[in-house]
Structure 1
């Protein structure tokens, strides 16, 4: 459609609206409809003030409740700001039926009804929708559409947008088709993301399942949900999936050349989740020196968090093709040792019993698979060297200070028994006597 034609049509519509407004001002039927609009609005205000506190109490569960029913009640409560404009819309609809039965027309009150619907849409976008993407779609598409509908211009604008064709190579589509596609795709994928979040939360609460299996099921559901959402968008918009064959072929060629690593990392991630050899919460160390706690496993990479707060993104393929040391696999314990020494004038036969009893008092030291074991290591230059081996659940780093605590216990136990911890001594022999100093 030519822009000049659209402008001429807009001017005609403006003149028609101006004539309609002038007719309303001089028509008794129009004034009666204005009166009914005012009555409907104040009736909606009065009813809303009476119903809002009651609905607030019914739809607001205690803060401690987190059941599905409680969450559904909180979700419905989000839409309470729409109560006033929707009540006004309903009451105005009743008034419209009355005026049409009496006067045979209800253009004024129908306009008021559409105006209340516009206010409801504006409140929905401004106060209720919190998702950033949906908020942008609502602000720049949904609200303008509601405004055009309220003033009776929606059909003319839609005809103009449908006639405006955008060429894209061998393809062409109208602006209206593009807007519809964005709206439908945005709504469906938002619903898919919400469904995925709910299902992921439910799966992660199933503590009877292995963490790796929970991650695998969550990822499978995510792929399935968004795959269905994509097919729904294509079907609703009337796009044949056979027309995507060329695009699929291009993607296949890309996988064969430039996306090999991405495909390899994706498959490696699936293998990791299936085997469960490394999962979220494990502390791992790779051949390349990367070490940290697994905090997230994605389709492409695994994210490690070090004890100094840094994140390391490790491709999933590295967990398959290189050596990985897992310090915190489920049900395992780790062994550490704390070295110390005593002086040569100590009765070393008493030392193991003293140290083992002291270390066993630590709440984090395990008795299985083995209790604390104090061993004589060697006779050093300055003292007799020992080491106590102990088993703990967890890693001796970050929040855990097992070795430090055990060394404190060793120090205090030796001091209580009067055993000294030696320090290096050196004997210096002077073969040439020092010169005598004059008196």
Structure 2
């Protein structure tokens, strides 16, 4: 086959050259008894693998299946069970390898056999991505990175593509590196940081099961996360061939940036570390800041803490505010908190009856505690319209809206006063009209 492609671009000439080589190779294979015998061996190995898989796969599934999911070895056996779809291509590859020794001893050639083995590896990679891998990110990597690489290897183009990528350089400013370095960095970086994320989630789950202070637990989780991703970053730099000594310049630039534009971020980060070490506030605490924000801490991040208010809003509070301003932590000293419910009675009431009546009524509430103190009704003063009282009570928890302890106590106070026929006053005014009413109105 002769074509005059001298006027065509170089890429077209290269593709045409590969096409001619493929045509010549296919012609040799089709006309050679050696090739036909190897093709027959590949077909026979594949059919034998299909037959063996149909017999072995059900037996292996029954043997590996743990049955009892709560057994200590069940996670490992279930993990192995997921790899049964690889049985067919692996058996085909193994049977082909056995036949390859026979063919090479007879014909001293095994080109077709080698191609068939690479095809079986491609089928194994496709089964791995399609039937075994369940993580979406790993499936994405397998579909767009692993399968194309194995496909290039199957048709014998992987070395050629690798050489072209090695010869192609990419420049960023004064730095230049090969395209294969970029590809290697993308692949290795994706795998390393996925592995880092997985390791971080596993270690966080293990740390959360340990008995320790919540703040120490949170600090340990953040420390392990930082260490994992730092190691992943250093490994990636090593894989890409970047000199780690050059990072000293970057570290100096970051230090200058922290000294000027990033000092607030650095301050909040250090404040977050101090909070985690000292345990002044941690996830689950109900706090009230000096600025009036109040809520439960639901997240503690590197820069800020997130409060969930009783009405469901999330407030982002910089960590520095917990260090430099006054913070009331209702959960730090324990779960018991004291509240009070004010009320008034009429001046016609015998006030000596009020304290025991109200204290007995409030004590019936199932959430009101006897310790550290039982309900206490106190006289607060003599108002314009009535006598002012307040009942103090202790509960386990925060009166944050969903609990409404004060509302429940006021209901008990109202019902107790009504049952005792004690009047609850309302504002009254005496109006004096100087000079008397007009004659028509007075009659």
Q: Same fold (TM over 0.5)?
A: yes
CA contact (8 A) 2:196 2:229 kept: yes
Q: Within 5 Å, which residues of 2 pair with 1:294-333?
A: 294-333=297-336
**Secondary structure of the residue that 1:406 maps to in structure 2?**
helix
1:60 deviates by: 6.3
Could you list the runs of 5+ residues in structure 2 that have no partner in the other structure? 1-7
Q: Which residue of 2 aligns with 1:340?
A: 343
- Is 2:375–2:393's contact at 8 Å kept on the other side of the alignment? yes
Q: Deviations over 1:150-171 (max 9, x none)?
A: 1111111111111111122221
1:408 Cα shift? 1.7
Asked if 1:350 corresponds to 2:358, the answer is: no
Deviates most, 318-327 or 227-236: 227-236
Cα distance change of structure 1 residues 410 and 223 upon mapping to structure 2, 3 Å threshold: same
Report the equivalent of 1:176. 180
CA separation of 1:48/1:293 partners in 2, compared to 1, >3 Å: closer, same or farther? farther
RMSD: 2.9
Q: 1:142 aligns with which of 118, 140, 146?
A: 146
- Work out whether residues 64 and 78 of structure 2, in 8 Å CA contact, stay in contact via their aligned partners in 1: no
Q: Distance in 2 between matches of 1:393 and 1:213?
A: 24
Aligned twin of 1:253:
256
Name the structure 1 match of 2:156: 152
Determine the C-alpha separation between the residues in 1 that align with 2:406 and 2:383: 22
Please, which moves more after superposition, 325-334 or 160-169?
325-334
Distance 2:382 2:34 in 1: 113
Tell me by how many angstroms 1:144 deviates. 1.6
Which range moves more in the overlay, 190-199 or 302-311?
302-311
**Aligned in 2, Cα 1:141/1:374: closer, same or farther, shift over 3 Å?**
same
Describe the SS at the equivalent of 2:403: coil
Please state whether the residue corresponding to 2:379 is helix, strand or coil.
Answer: strand
Partner of 1:193: 197
Match of 1:51 in 2: 57
Equivalences for residues 2-401 of structure 1 within 5 A:
7-49=12-54, 50-51=56-57, 54-55=60-61, 58=64, 65=70, 70-131=74-135, 133-206=137-210, 208-401=211-404
Give distance in 1, aligned partners of 2:404 and 2:62. Answer: 50
Q: CA deviation at 1:372?
A: 0.7
Q: Is the 8 A contact 1:336 1:389 kept in 2?
A: yes
- Shift in alpha-carbon separation, 1:296–1:30, aligned structure 2, 3 A: same
Do the aligned partners of 1:134 and 1:186 also contact (CA within 8 Å) in 2? Answer: no
How much has 1:127 moved relative to structure 2? Answer: 4.9
Match of 2:128, SS state, is helix
* Greater mean deviation of Cα atoms: 215-224 or 376-385: 376-385
Whole-Å separation in 2 of the counterparts to 1:155 and 1:111? 15
The verdict on how the C-alpha distance between 1:140 and 1:342 changes in structure 2, with shifts beyond 3 A counting, is same
Residues in 1 aligned to 2:103 and 2:408: alpha-carbon distance in whole angstroms: 86
* 1:214-252 Cα distance to aligned partner (Å, 9 max, x none): 011111111111112222222333332113232222222
1:400 and 1:357 mapped to 2: Cα distance?
Answer: 21
